[in-house]
Amino acid sequence: MNKKELISKISEKIHEEAKDAGKIKIMHLCGTHEDTITKYNLRSLLPDNIKLLSGPGCPVCIIPDEDLQKVFHLIEKENIIFTTFGDMARVPHNGKSLFYYKAKGYDIRIVYSIFDAIKIARNSSRTVVHFGIGFETTMPSTALAILDAPENFCVFSSHRYFIPAMEHLISLGVEVNGFINPGHVSTITGIKAYEKIKKYGIPQIISGFEPEDVMLSILKLIKAIKRGDAEVFNEYTRAVTYDGNVMAQKVMDDVFSVDDWEWRGLGVVPRSGAVIKEEYSEFDVVKVFEDAFSDFVPVEDKAKKACRCGDVLRGIITPLDCPLFNKRCTPKDPVGACMVSFEGTCNIWAKFGVERN
């Protein structure tokens, strides 16, 4: 049996199980899952009563405009080297982006790893500021870098803890019968981190990223939903353990404390922000350049008024329901963050040409 036959078999079983299941909404929480689902057209292999929604699983997408504007403000005022991952460099605000600043001659450098940003700092007398973005998957590398950083290095922490966002989504009243949890966040946090979400009675499954992983996860969730079983299941057994990467958790705990931070589309999510602890304030851009931020005032981007990224991130609409999708907003000339990132639902749908049936 090859992969295609395997997936067909699972699809058959899903159809069989779903017959008497009523309407089921399953939300996945990772942009890479949306990529698998859309690339392999998995939605077409599901019966009509099983809907797959995409949630706030793209770390670039959920960073609010205010963080981005603060970065722009700093770059304009201070003679720094600014390092970032590539996706973030294209997110626009009021016609500007990090690539815009690079084109204007500001020293913006795209790095693959924060480790590369540290190397730049070691070879420069200027201050290097790294844009720390990403969930629990990326956060340990930033924490390690801070523990090992030279004096002329600091971090703009836009890191956010993902698991509090799940509870927040539920509190917003999002209608979901089951969650497909983010596989790589879970390699760090372990299965145990999801225990506290069990009280909401919604089954969850940690899934791998191959199409058969996702299909099998959907099948397991449908069965659990029918049984009324709100367990945390692990399909990604090749990489995720109950305890996760304990060393990575410890490094994160050493360097970051939590605060209530805003997410695009979700508002303020309690205890989701990763603040650099006071004892490492010499590596925290907010403290190092405190004066530069004193006259910062956020400004609204009028072009984004019709952008519905926030609703896409809550699973309320699909990209096709946004008036800008593939018209004013395209992967080549994006308006909203969800059209920029490789993990953004709008970018993925545009890239693979998803259209209304």
Partner 1 sequence: MCLAIPAEVEEVNFPIAIVNFGGTRKEVRIDLLPDVRVGDYVLVHVGYAIQKVDVKEVEELAAIYQKLQEEGIL
> Which stretches of the chain bind partner 1, using CB under 8 A?
1, 3, 6, 9-10, 13, 30-32, 57-60, 85, 87, 112-116, 133-135, 137-138, 140-141, 144, 182, 184-185, 187-188, 212, 216, 219-220, 235, 237-240, 245, 247-248, 251, 341-343
Minimum separation from the CB atom of position 182 to partner 1 (A)? 6
Residue placing its CB nearer to partner 1 in the complex, 213 or 289: 213
Under a CB-based contact definition with an 8 Å cutoff, are residues 248 and 186 in contact? no
Residue placing its CB nearer to partner 1 in the complex, 18 or 292: 18
Location of structure tokens 């993902």: 162
Residue placing its CB nearer to partner 1 in the complex, 78 or 231: 231
Residue placing its CB nearer to partner 1 in the complex, 185 or 276: 185
Q: Which residues of 62-72 are buried (b: 16+ CB within 10 A; e: fewer)?
A: bbbbebbbbbb
The amino acid that residue 77 corresponds to is: K
**Closest by alpha carbon to 45, among 215, 256, 196?**
215
Minimum separation from the CB atom of position 205 to partner 1 (A)? 12
Minimum separation from the CB atom of position 78 to partner 1 (A)? 25
Minimum separation from the CB atom of position 158 to partner 1 (A)? 11
Compute CA 113 distance to the chain's CA centroid, rounded to the nearest angstrom.
17
Q: In 3-state terms, what secondary structure has residue 30?
A: coil
Residue placing its CB nearer to partner 1 in the complex, 110 or 303: 110
Location of structure tokens 């304009």: 76
Residue placing its CB nearer to partner 1 in the complex, 169 or 292: 169
Location of structure tokens 């600043």: 101
Burial-class residue 258 by CB neighbours within 10 Å (0-12, 13-18, 19+).
Answer: middle
Q: Which residues of 112-140 are buried (b: 16+ CB within 10 A; e: fewer)?
A: eebeebbebbeeeeebbbbbbbbbbbbbb
Minimum separation from the CB atom of position 282 to partner 1 (A)? 21
Minimum separation from the CB atom of position 212 to partner 1 (A)? 6
